[in-house]
Amino acid sequence: MAEKTNWELLVQLFEKINMTDDRLDVICEDIMDRLGPLARNLSLAKVAIQYIIFPNVFQLCGSSFKCEHIFDSAVADEEEAVHISYDTIRHEKCDVSLYPVRGHEWDDLKYRSVRMLSQIVSIYMTRGALINDLKRTPFVDILTGLSNSPGVIMSGTGLEKEGKLKDFASVFFNFKNFNYINKKYGVNNGDVIIKQHALRMFQFMNQAEGEIAARFGGDNFFALVKKEHLDDFLILLNDVEIIIDFKGEKVTLPIKVRAGIFDSSDENTTINNMTTNANIACSFTKKLNMDLIRFTPDMFDTAMHDKKTLIIFPAAMAAKEIIPFYQPKYNIHTKRIVGAEALVRWFRNGRFVPPGEFLPALEADGSIRKLDFYMLEEVCSDLRKWLDAGIEPVRVSINYSKLNLQNPRLADDTIAILSKYDIDPKYIEIELTETSGFEDNERMNRFISKMHEYGVTISMDDFGTGYSSLNIFKDLDFDVVKLDKTFIDNIERDIEKDTVIMINMIKMLSELKIEIIAEGVETDKQLDFLKEHGCELVQGYYFSKPVSREEFLEKIRKG
């Protein structure tokens, strides 16, 4: 009869435990409250529970919860207690200790009930922890365990309602050269870097004060830190070395970041302002080639302008508002046109939109790749019309953004457009900037080699503005190098060091049999210097500004 009673009490306990709560302390208290009758039947004096959560994505540092309840003051000594440990399905641990009343010894029947009781406790504690995880899943980044975007909004809204956001600064950042790291060391090691960096962030944060560490996907991170902690946090971001396993060896990688900061004392600041403005500031780091930028109101206006540009630009291309202007290239000695560079112009609502108002937005968004192919097609269309009219054109160069190099079909897609218009490749030159990602020489070489096989000329634009090693001329087979305008401008200023560099660059490139073009030539002094030192081809306002296709055609006709 006693066993049946104990079983009924166990079932009753099982049925009446709160099934909706996920807080371990509440679950434990609920179990203890309902355990009284069964404890008397079993001569159970005390129950102690310890639930250990090992580090996981939902609790990066893990946690431990303890509770106990005494049902009878005559608690047996420790050696008489029954200790049962359960490894949960979450690879956590639930330790249950059951103490009989002093002097009482459980028989086999009661011992089975005691064990069953411990299992019920473990099941419900584990269930509560699982429910807690499920509730948190929409707000947690599963790779790192940091908050995700909805998690930041949820936590930040709480601070906002309490009027505390004015005490915080927000930081949005991503890693420098992370695409390169992923390519060189593999995506798995990229994930290792992200997770280790995330853990350092999390350990820095003072959660009790409301600080938040978050990941918004990829290598994009967000942090909400108390203003007095901001300087220390920024030091932490750029003082990170992460060790990875690569090809059986330990490799230490220093991780640097680009970060945008929003710091406002406005009591009406919202969490949306904190995330958006820090993100906008971060987007300016690449535009301005800086690692750390604080948000200013004009950045918001620029960001909104860029957003509008990205929305209307596809329609502008479809409507042929985007047109090529041609800046002629001249031979200094003959004064004749030997080539041209196609420059993008946007004619909208009766005026030309300056390139600086739309090109940076397209570059940041990646839409610049579509523009490059649009310009190639427009140039090929013009060349076809001129050839059909019996006019012999000159070689025209088209700029390709470094983003195009990510396209494995870049060469094939380029050749397809030339074939579509039946353009002899001798009329086309592709310009790549010096900063076009020369760390990936293999991909660059494949593109250049295929273009050369087809007969297309490849030039390096803006040489001298970046930090590329002269080894690029050994590793990559450029046909043409364009000397950057900054060097040409310094001829006018008689800067000795730049003059020496210019003279020797021209000499070196000539000996390598690489065609040289000086861009931005505007004065007689610049022209005479270039003529004296062997640079025969120039481009700039001295001879001609960029002109419409009609004006350029007229220049070709006149020679």
Residue 527 has what pLDDT?
92
The mean pLDDT value for 232-256 works out to: 88
Looking at 54-58, 223-227, 279-283, which range is the least confident one?
54-58
CA-CA distance, 371 to 39, in Å (whole number)?
77
Residue 365 has what pLDDT?
85
The mean pLDDT value for 523-542 works out to: 92
- For residue 134, name the pLDDT band (cuts at 50, 70, 90): confident
Read off the tokens for 499.
Answer: 């003059």
Minimal CA–CA distance to 67: which of 25, 114, 10, 112?
Answer: 25
Provide the pairing of β-strand 249-255 with 220-226.
unpaired
- Which of 106-115, 132-141, 320-329, 444-453 holds the top average pLDDT? 320-329
The mean pLDDT value for 18-38 works out to: 76
Phi and psi torsions of 481, nearest 5°: -125, 130
Q: Between these two residues, 157 and 134, which has the higher pLDDT value?
A: 157
Residue 292 has what pLDDT?
94
Instruction: Answer whether residue 246 shows pLDDT above 70.
Output: yes
Helix (H) or strand (E) holding 338: strand 337-348
The mean pLDDT value for 495-523 works out to: 87
Q: Between these two residues, 15 and 121, which has the higher pLDDT value?
A: 121
The mean pLDDT value for 490-495 works out to: 75
Tell me the per-residue pLDDT of 66-109, one tens digit each, with 9 for 90 and over.
989 898 889 888 888 889 888 876 678 889 999 999 988 888 88
Percent of the chain scored above 70 by pLDDT?
92
- For residue 501, name the pLDDT band (cuts at 50, 70, 90): confident
Show Cβ contacts of residue 555 under 8 Å, excluding neighbours closer than 6 positions.
Answer: 328, 337, 544, 547
CA-CA distance, 441 to 285, in Å (whole number)?
26
- Which of 65-69, 130-134, 210-214 holds the top average pLDDT? 210-214
Q: Between these two residues, 88 and 381, which has the higher pLDDT value?
A: 381
Distances (CA, A) of 59 to 208, 446, 464: 15, 47, 50
Q: What's 321-558's CATH class? A: alpha beta
Residue range(s) occupied by CATH 3.30.70.270 in the chain = 140-295
The mean pLDDT value for 383-393 works out to: 95
Q: What's 2-137's CATH class? A: alpha beta
Residue 469 has what pLDDT?
53
Tell me the per-residue pLDDT of 29-72, one tens digit each, with 9 for 90 and over.
877 877 787 888 888 899 999 988 887 777 777 778 898 989 88
Residue range(s) occupied by CATH 3.20.20.450 in the chain = 321-558
Q: Please provide the distance, in angstroms rounded to a whole number, between the alpha carbons at the two ends of the chain.
A: 115
Residue 472 has what pLDDT?
74
Residue 240 has what pLDDT?
84
Residue 467 has what pLDDT?
46
Instruction: Answer whether residue 126 shows pLDDT above 70.
Output: yes
Considering the domain delimited by 140-295, tell me its CATH architecture: 2-Layer Sandwich (3.30)
Instruction: Answer whether residue 471 shows pLDDT above 50.
Output: yes
Instruction: Answer whether residue 2 shows pLDDT above 60.
Output: no
Task: Supply the pTM of this predicted model.
Answer: 0.69
Residue range(s) occupied by CATH 3.30.450 in the chain = 2-137
CA-CA distance, 216 to 212, in Å (whole number)?
13
